[in-house]
Amino acid sequence: MGDKANTHPGAAGRATAADHPASVRNVVLVGHSGSGKTTLVEALALTAGAVNRAGRVEDGTAVSDYDEIEHRQQRSVQLSLVPVAWDGYKINILDTPGYADFVGELRAGLRAADAALFVVSASDGVDGSTRMVWDECAAVGMPRAIVVTHLESARADFDAMTRICAEAFGADDPDAVLPLYLPLHGESGPDGHAPVTGLIGLLSQRLFDYSSGEREEAEPVDGQLPLIAEARNRLIEGIIAESEDETLMDRYLGGEEIDFKTLVQDLERAVARGAFFPVLAAAPAAEGARQGLGTVELLELVTGGFPTPLERAAPTVTTPDGAAREVRACDPDGPLVAEVVKTASDPYVGRVSLVRVFSGTLRPDETVHVSGHGLTDRGHEDHDVDERVGALSAPFGKQQRALTHCIAGDLACVAKLNRAETGDTLSAKDDPLLMEPWQMPDPLLPLAIQAHSKADEDKLSQGLGRLVAEDPTMRLEQNQHTHQVVLWCLGEAHADVALERLRSRYGVQVDVVPHKVSLRETFAARSAGRGRHVKQSGGHGQYAICEIEVEPLPNGSGIEFVDKVVGGAVPRQFIPSVEKGVRAQAARGVAAGHPLIDVRITLLDGKAHSVDSSDAAFQTAGALALREAAAEARIHLLEPVAEVTVMVGDDYVGAVMSDLSGRRGRVVGTEQTSGGRTLVRAEVPEMEIGRYAVDLRSLSHGTARFQRSYARHEPMPPQIAERMREQTREAS
């Protein structure tokens, strides 16, 4: 690294279709909000020649600021693709959101990329969420590098930040996280801060000065090489060790000087193995400058140090009916296997799908098969249809450059796939295939909504359908018990974006209402009731009398109906009518309007009339009997209780357990796990964890994750139950 010329005539600019997987690099940028990812993408595009200068696209179209090429506000909450060309390679740069609420977009970026560039701010450090993403990448062996930004900050300290990264990302082996370059500082200003003006390559032992706005290479001045000797030796030892080149290590330890080309080859091998993680530095270009500090070095690392799509293992593929199917890794001539990693709606061209091709070649206007696992619990259906592919394009902000094809290893935007959703597989129509899905985060923040007006009500269903089609991390629920429409989101920012998209994209205005949990009722003790429905008003009357007994049953028993009538007091044909009436009343509730559960209702006796008795009369009598039994008994109001598991760092275990107790929760156990983390298990009333996704993130500084599942309904504390009944009476 660092031995290439600082310009690449004819090889830089905006990328078109790639012709071979070896010339493609797919890299995803990861980092917390404010770390400088989007600014770095812009700086890389400027250095690569995809734009002439900040504020102008390549063809000279003027915009007020480069950020307008891809709306910064949108890019902050969604995955975006910026393809550029550098030194004969096509680099697909995937910029991911830094907000924890949009981890689904991050997972999509990880799925589409072959390597990750972790962006950390020299003034802010490494947050817990970034560490968790690092662990996700480590679990699948994804190659990674680290770039330190915000070097212009007065608090920036590259050496200290490198040590922090080694502690955060190299816990098992700190020598696997080492800098490739050291910053060069200019003269100190009035505040004593010396700006970073260039870099010195530890392997090449060359200086790269950016102070003029162009990268200029020079020899080190006297006295500089001894200052980097220790860092250089440590870097060389780390590279050789992580590349597992034992013969080279013996030669190095024997005092032999290793040539630069061999060191670069070992560096590439170690990075591609996911065993060595180089640290670089970058800063945006100054006003009027053409290259930002460190951007050339980053582009060289991506093209020379990151793996090609050919080095990525072939995905697990089956036929739609589940039969295993073997597919060669990244073969442009193989069967078509592509995946929709993102779905968006464009006001002019309709639905646009970002697609990663893993095998075969995708071409415009061909018919493909769309297969999808579906997420029925989130409002997504299984897919098994044929669709005609629209135009293929490479996005660049508001513009789309048409592509003639998209080979295995490359990414493209596909227009007019009206049925395909995020996570779906595209394959040949005569050879349908299905890729193994990636893990989606579970949305745990409920947002209850209702249409603002009658006009909005007519458009709500279609708008919600399109919304969840774009975002598989969102779950749509139409609760039959509370009669609410609920969008389950990942956090408050996720919910805000969903509401804004409903309004601006689909013209649907909604109101947010308090979320209700599904309460139940049950009898606290045995009780009896008599239902008498006798009416005479000329012609056929109505006559039905029944006597019942109600007793509580264990949790989860439901409603049990028992017939103990003797002597034909209630004719056999009307006993099902009594049961139907009882069950209908139980569904409506007997005290506060919530469904009745876990009781045995026994029909003991009754009376009938040879002319006036009917099915409807005995249904009514059964309902009246149950209401009378409830009036004479103590009724428990039951609330749903969830099993909650929280994975949290050891530093926050006490705070999490205390918080759960404050939510009327019962901690049922803890379990120590690897990486200094603890799994806390608890049972918590669902009424108390409606906003737990938000509160836990604040409590743990974004380092904890939780899961919840329904456990059972159990009696609510008397004072809370009375308050709920009072609210029901006021509402009615």
pLDDT at 727 over 80: no
Q: What is the pLDDT of residues 339-379, one digit of tens each?
A: 999 988 766 667 889 999 999 999 999 999 998 866 655 55
Residue type, 717: P
Cβ 31 vs Cβ 118: under 8 Å: yes
CB within 8 A of 113, min separation 6: which ones? 26, 27, 28, 92, 94, 142
CB 337 within 8 A of CB 406: no
Q: Which has the closest alpha carbon to 599: 480, 713, 725?
A: 713
Q: Which residues contact 140 (CB under 8 A, 6 or more apart)?
A: none
Average pLDDT over residues 40-51: 88
Q: Which one, of 146, 122, 123, lies nearest residue 30 by Cα?
A: 146
- For residue 425, the tally of other CB atoms under 10 A from its CB is 28
Residue 74 has pLDDT above 80, yes or no: no
For residue 732, what pLDDT band results from cuts at 50, 70 and 90? low
Residue 62 pLDDT: 31
Q: Mean pLDDT over residues 334-339, rounded?
A: 95
| pLDDT tens track for 443-491 | 999 999 999 999 999 899 989 988 887 888 889 999 988 899 999 999 9
Closest CA to 180 of 302, 89, 287: 302
DSSP symbols for 215-259 = -EEEPPPTTHHHHHHHHHHHHHHHHHHHHT-HHHHHHHHTTPPPP
Strand 542-552, strand 527-535: pairing: antiparallel
Query: Model confidence over 596-644: pLDDT tens digits?
Result: 999 999 999 999 998 899 999 999 999 999 999 999 999 999 999 999 9
Alpha helical stretches, state H, 326-484: 454-470
State the average pLDDT over residues 89-112: 88
What whole-number distance in Å separates Cα of residue 529 and Cα of residue 547?
Answer: 6
The tokens of 615 are what? Answer: 């099915």
Tell me the backbone φ, ψ of residue 720, rounded to 5 degrees.
Answer: -75, -40
**Length of the chain (residues):** 732
With CA atoms as reference, report the closest residue to 500 among 670, 469, 492.
492
CB atoms within 10 A of CB 287: 8
Q: How far is CA 267 from CA 30, 86, 134, 181, 511, in A?
A: 22, 20, 20, 13, 56
Q: Please compute the mean of the pLDDT values over residues 504-526 and round it to a whole number.
A: 93
Q: Which two tokens stand for residue 126?
A: 């490494």
**Over residues 541-559, mean pLDDT:** 94
pTM for this prediction: 0.83
Q: Which residues make Cβ contacts (< 8 Å) with residue 109, sequence separation at least 6?
A: 28, 29, 30, 79, 94, 95, 96, 341
The mean pLDDT value for 291-318 works out to 91
Tell me the pLDDT tens digit for each residue of 305-330.
899 999 988 889 999 888 999 888 89
Cα separation, 550 vs 601, whole angstroms = 5
pLDDT at 190: 66
Q: Write out the E strands in 572-652.
A: 599-607, 635-649
Kindly indicate the confidence band of residue 28, based on its pLDDT and cuts at 50, 70 and 90.
very high
Gap between the Cα atoms of 359 and 544, Å rounded: 72
Residue the block writes with tokens 């094809």: 405
Kindly tell me if the per-residue pLDDT of 67 is higher than 50: no
Per-residue confidence band for 247, with pLDDT thresholds at 50, 70 and 90: confident
End-to-end CA separation in angstroms for the chain: 74
pLDDT at 691 exceeding the cut of 90:
yes
Pairing mode, strands 89-95 and 24-30: parallel
Contact 412, 469 (CB under 8 A): no
Average pLDDT over residues 67-81: 54
Q: What is the pLDDT of residue 27?
A: 96
- Give the DSSP letter string of 286-308: PTT-S--TTHHHHHHHHHHHSPP
Q: pLDDT band at 3, cuts 50/70/90?
A: very low
Question: For 131-135, 613-617, 662-666, which range has the lowest pLDDT when averaged over its residues?
Answer: 131-135
Q: Is the pLDDT of residue 411 over 90?
A: yes
**What is residue 656's predicted lDDT score, i.e. its pLDDT?**
96
* Distances 57 to 114, 290, 292, 398 between C-alpha atoms, Å: 27, 13, 17, 10
Q: Which of 318-332, 507-521, 681-695 has the lowest mean pLDDT?
A: 318-332
Q: Rounded to the nearest 5 degrees, what angle is found at the Cα of 720, between the Cα atoms of 717 and 724?
A: 130
What ranges in 423-531 are assigned the alpha helix state H? Answer: 454-470, 492-504
Residue 694 confidence (pLDDT) = 93
Confidence band, pLDDT 50/70/90 cuts, at residue 646: very high
Mean pLDDT, to the nearest integer, of 105-112? 89
66-80, 210-224, 417-431, 650-664 — most confident range: 650-664
* Average pLDDT of span 398-425: 88
Percent of the chain past pLDDT 90, that is, above it, reads 52
What would the pLDDT profile of 149-198 be if each residue is shown by its tens digit?
988 877 788 989 999 999 888 867 878 999 999 998 877 666 666 788 88
| H-state helical runs in 313-388 | none
CA distance linking residue 397 with residue 419, whole number of Å: 25
Nearest to residue 510, comparing CAs of 495, 494, 501, 499?
Answer: 499
Measured at the alpha carbon of residue 83, what is the angle toward residues 85 and 153, in degrees to the nearest 5? 95
Output the pLDDT for position 348: 65
Query: And the tokens for 108?
Result: 């999509």
Query: What is the identity of the amino acid at 731?
Result: A
pLDDT surpassing 50 at residue 61: no
DSSP 459: H
- Taking alpha carbons only, the member of 186, 217, 185, 182 closest to residue 202 is 182
- Residue 618 vs residue 396, higher pLDDT: 618
Task: Please tell me whether residue 541 adopts helix, strand or coil conformation.
Answer: coil
How many C-beta neighbours within 10 Å does residue 308 have? 20
Confidence check: pLDDT of 228 > 70: yes
Describe the crossing of helices 295-305 and 37-47 by its angle, rounded to 10 degrees.
90
Q: Cα–Cα distance between 181 and 417 in angstroms, integer? A: 45
Scanning the structure block, which residue is given the tokens 């770095």? Answer: 40
Q: How far is 23 from 303, CA to CA, in rounded Å?
A: 8
Check if the beta carbon of residue 109 is closer than 8 Å to that of residue 115: no
* CA distance linking residue 319 with residue 313, whole number of Å: 19
